[in-house]
């Protein structure tokens, strides 16, 4: 099915099931512990083998020798896989890091061996018997030191519009500041985990994968097996945030081990191995320059970003959102990538926007202060309805001003004292801050298969995944709405490469893509049902379990009396993304309290206002947004993978020392969704929302801390060592 114009009469617009606050249909399974995650399948093989990964003890260099004899002789050991016996492993795909070191070591904790044994404990014990001698090389581990060697990257070319240098130099009010964001870890609840089994020359893996199509493609490339010989199943995923975008060491090595041993093999990464062995959000250094007239109108804006990665990796595109968020005739955006010998940097929730707005939205507040202007009004003044530099390219939908105004009104922004450090509550300094938000809303070609069963239920199949986002539920709602049946009459089957391609969970594209594919398949099923029942009229209504037209009403079940009816279709979009800039928007507001004596920061209240097209389910959408707000709080105040710049590894590679927010850190959160739909995005008119929830949160908190204390911290996270000695004296 092609989609390139707004739909006319559209069954999805009834909003009897779609848009309603249904709880997750798989919720009972998860809350009772009966949802089966990748590592937990017991019906695959009653006697699987277990793999344990040994990570490299250096960050850069070569393996001089590796002695596995004691490990091979240890009780229960079936095989020890190293680069010497693994067979050829090719590079390529979403992740560039090599899954197995040898003889070259690219980064700390890169796998040097996988021990396979009859039990997990046997494999772990034998891994400790492997003796590895290294020749240490000289590595680059410091972004600040390496950024001078940063180079352009084709993923994010420079953007030059107008004459930035002249406009900035002549602007009466300007700011020029540098901000830094640290390396961060996904640290999702479920570790990377895989079960692999070969049946002849065909491989099946049950693995925590956000995008099963990418996983199959990349696994095929890396181990040299045709794609059509690989099946990926990822029924439930315990969080991903981009860290499970494709196959990592667990899936690749489990596949190799299963082939070598002829056994079903289970591999899960111990949590301390995850930050250095897999991927992370890379650190950035960002310079933001903004020049404005005394009326607040931006005349010149520049955003430059530096990040680092392994050879072949890409940059953190932190300057990208500054191309779109605000008006300004003269613009300069530059992204530079330095080569570092740290573990791979790659996608983490809202890559680009989340760290980029940590700089841009603080810079906007600093500009507002210089202008003596309200921060909300500054952002409203500089709104734009067309892409800067592309006056003929509109946004598909843009209600940023409404987000800002709605949030300011709901949060009581007019009561904010703009004088930093002026509001006290006992020993607490009180501050209020805000930030705008933007996040891309891509939508991909997506397919689905739907079957009307003989009992009148409908089964929908899609390779879309659900990592806690609510995919099962919104796909079920879309099917129920289209077929005119209650949600409990829909069976949703997801996350299997045997099902039609629907992209997957990533890039804030999953829900919009998958539901549009389901819509297309349901249109075809409706046509088949109508034809089977003899309806010739162009207007046929599916509602209340019936097919209706005029005065005629036929039970839906009647169409399947001779057997199930199956339909499959795919939604495609032509040049839609070239004709519109497809984005989501938001505004974040935060109140903090800072202890005047100790500097302790406490978040008191948070508000997010979101413009994300049609909200398919306000319950699951809110869950995504508040989760993003929690992650944003972590990014602002605590999250940092600390780099040992001598030896090149992340020191705090466990949840004991990598701090994330807990219940005591997060107050009651409020989320407002603007009513509406985006008719240009798809017939479902919905966009993603999960990554919008984090974009802009951290700078809103940072701006609130400044309003409370008068101390500006431009180096995230905002920790005591960066501001305690600058707090105002206690009277």
**What are residue 174's DSSP bridge partners?**
291
The yes-or-no answer on residue 501 being catalytic is no
The structure tokens 């990040």 sit at: 307
Query: Phi and psi dihedrals of 256, rounded to 5?
Result: -65, -40
Q: Which of 561, 591, 691, 715 is catalytic?
A: 691
Can you give the length of the chain in residues? 731
**What are residue 284's DSSP bridge partners?**
181
- C-alpha to C-alpha distances, 329 to 159, 292, 392, 398, 473, nearest whole angstrom: 12, 11, 15, 19, 44
Indicate the burial class of 548 (C-beta count within 10 angstroms; 0-12, 13-18, 19 or more): middle
Indicate the burial class of 546 (C-beta count within 10 angstroms; 0-12, 13-18, 19 or more): middle
Distance CA 54, CA 66 (A): 12
- For 515, the enclosing helix (H) or strand (E) is helix 510-532
End-to-end CA distance of the chain: 69
Preceding peptide of 638 cis, ω within 30°: no
Q: Are 275 and 206 in contact (CB under 8 A)?
A: no
Q: Are 445 and 504 in contact (CB under 8 A)?
A: no
Torsion of CA 168, 171, 175, 177, to 10 degrees: 10
- C-alpha to C-alpha distances, 562 to 36, 410, 454, nearest whole angstrom: 34, 56, 8
Strands 583-595, 428-440: parallel, antiparallel or unpaired by DSSP?
antiparallel
Separation of CA 387 from chain center = 24
- C-alpha to C-alpha distances, 151 to 154, 158, 160, 573, nearest whole angstrom: 10, 11, 17, 34
Q: How large is the C-alpha radius of gyration of the chain? A: 27
Any residues with CB less than 8 A from the CB of 307 and at least 6 apart, and which?
143, 282, 283, 284, 285, 315, 316, 318, 335, 336, 337, 338, 345
- C-alpha to C-alpha distances, 630 to 75, 380, 468, 716, nearest whole angstrom: 45, 26, 15, 16
Q: Are 126 and 292 in contact (CB under 8 A)?
A: no
Any residues with CB less than 8 A from the CB of 671 and at least 6 apart, and which?
607, 608, 609, 610, 621, 622, 625, 626
The structure tokens 């905002």 sit at: 718
Q: Put residue 154 in one of left, alpha, beta given phi > 0 → left and psi -120 to 50 → alpha.
A: alpha
Closest CA to 417 of 708, 697, 703, 702: 708
Distance CA 357, CA 371 (A): 20
- C-alpha to C-alpha distances, 352 to 439, 524, 696, nearest whole angstrom: 9, 38, 12
Q: Are 321 and 438 in contact (CB under 8 A)?
A: yes
Q: Are 451 and 721 in contact (CB under 8 A)?
A: no
Q: Is 27 helix (H, G, I), strand (E, B) or coil?
A: helix
Would you please indicate which residues are annotated as catalytic (active-site) residues?
691
């Amino acid at each position: 099915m092609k989609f390139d114009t707004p739909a006319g009469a559209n069954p999805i617009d009834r909003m009897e099931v779609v848009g309603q606050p249904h709880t997750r249909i798989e919720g009972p399974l998860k809350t009772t512990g009966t949802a089966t995650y990748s590592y937990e399948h017991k019906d695959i093989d009653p006697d699987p083998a277990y793999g344990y990964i040994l990570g490299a003890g250096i960050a850069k260099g070569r393996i001089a020798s590796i002695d596995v004899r004691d490990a091979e002789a240890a009780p229960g050991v079936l095989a020890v896989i190293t680069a010497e016996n693994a067979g050829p492993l090719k590079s390529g795909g979403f992740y560039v890091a090599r899954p197995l070191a040898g003889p070259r070591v690219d980064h700390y904790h890169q796998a040097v061996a996988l021990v396979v044994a009859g039990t997990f404990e046997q494999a772990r014990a034998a891994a400790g018997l492997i003796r590895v001698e290294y020749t240490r090389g000289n590595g680059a581990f410091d972004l600040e030191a390496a950024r001078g060697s940063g180079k352009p990257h084709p993923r994010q070319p420079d953007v030059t519009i107008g004459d930035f240098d002249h406009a900035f130099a002549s602007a009466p009010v300007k700011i020029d500041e540098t901000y830094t964001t640290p390396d961060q870890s996904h640290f999702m609840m479920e570790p990377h985990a895989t079960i692999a089994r070969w049946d002849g020359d065909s491989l099946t893996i049950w693995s925590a994968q956000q995008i099963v199509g990418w996983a199959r493609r990349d696994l095929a490339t890396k181990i040299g097996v045709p794609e059509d010989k690989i099946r990926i199943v990822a029924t439930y995923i315990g969080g991903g945030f981009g860290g499970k975008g494709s196959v990592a060491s667990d899936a690749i090595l489990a596949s190799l081990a299963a082939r070598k041993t002829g056994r079903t093999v289970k591999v899960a990464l111990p949590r301390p191995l995850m930050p250095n062995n897999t991927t992370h959000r890379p650190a950035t250094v960002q310079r933001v320059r903004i020049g404005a007239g005394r009326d607040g109108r931006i005349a010149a804006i520049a955003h430059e970003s530096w990040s680092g990665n392994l050879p072949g990796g890409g940059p953190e595109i932190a300057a990208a959102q500054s191309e779109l968020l605000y008006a300004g005739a003269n613009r300069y955006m530059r992204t530079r990538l330095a080569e570092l010998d740290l573990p791979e940097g790659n996608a983490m929730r809202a890559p680009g926007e989340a760290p980029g707005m940590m700089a841009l939205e603080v810079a906007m507040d600093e500009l507002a202060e210089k202008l003596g202007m309200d921060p909300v009004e500054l952002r409203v003044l500089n709104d734009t309805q067309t892409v800067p530099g592309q006056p003929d390219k509109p946004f598909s939908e843009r209600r940023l001003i409404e987000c800002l105004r709605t949030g300011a009104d709901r949060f009581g922004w007019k009561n904010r004292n703009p004088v930093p450090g002026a509001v006290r509550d006992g020993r607490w300094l009180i501050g209020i801050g805000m930030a705008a938000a933007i996040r891309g809303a891509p939508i991909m070609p997506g397919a689905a298969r739907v079957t009307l069963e003989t009992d009148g239920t409908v089964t929908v199949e899609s390779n879309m995944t659900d990592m806690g986002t609510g995919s099962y539920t919104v796909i079920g709602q879309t099917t129920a709405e289209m077929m005119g049946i209650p949600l409990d009459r829909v069976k949703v089957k997801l996350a299997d490469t045997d099902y039609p391609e629907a992209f997957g969970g990533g890039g804030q594209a999953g829900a919009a893509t998958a539901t549009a594919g389901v819509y297309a398949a349901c249109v075809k099923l409706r046509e088949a049902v109508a034809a089977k029942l003899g309806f010739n009229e162009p207007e046929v209504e599916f509602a209340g379990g019936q097919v209706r037209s005029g005065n005629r009403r036929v039970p839906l079940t009647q169409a399947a009396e001779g057997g199930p009816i199956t339909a499959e279709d795919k939604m495609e979009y032509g040049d839609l993304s070239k004709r519109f800039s497809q984005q989501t928007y938001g505004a974040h507001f935060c109140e903090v309290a800072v202890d005047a004596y100790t500097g302790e920061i406490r978040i008191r209240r948070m508000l997010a206002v979101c413009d994300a097209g049609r909200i398919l389910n306000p319950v699951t959408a809110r869950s995504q947004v508040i989760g993003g707000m929690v992650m944003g709080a972590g990014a602002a105040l605590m999250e940092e993978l600390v780099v040992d710049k001598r030896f090149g590894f992340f020191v705090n590679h466990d949840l004991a020392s990598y701090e994330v927010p807990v219940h005591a850190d997060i107050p009651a959160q409020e989320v407002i969704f603007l009513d509406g739909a985006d008719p240009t995005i798809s017939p479902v008119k919905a966009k993603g929302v999960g990554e919008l929830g984090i974009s802009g949160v951290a700078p809103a908190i940072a701006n609130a801390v400044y309003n409370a204390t008068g101390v500006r911290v431009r180096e995230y996270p905002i920790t005591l060592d960066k501001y305690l000695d600058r707090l105002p004296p206690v009277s």
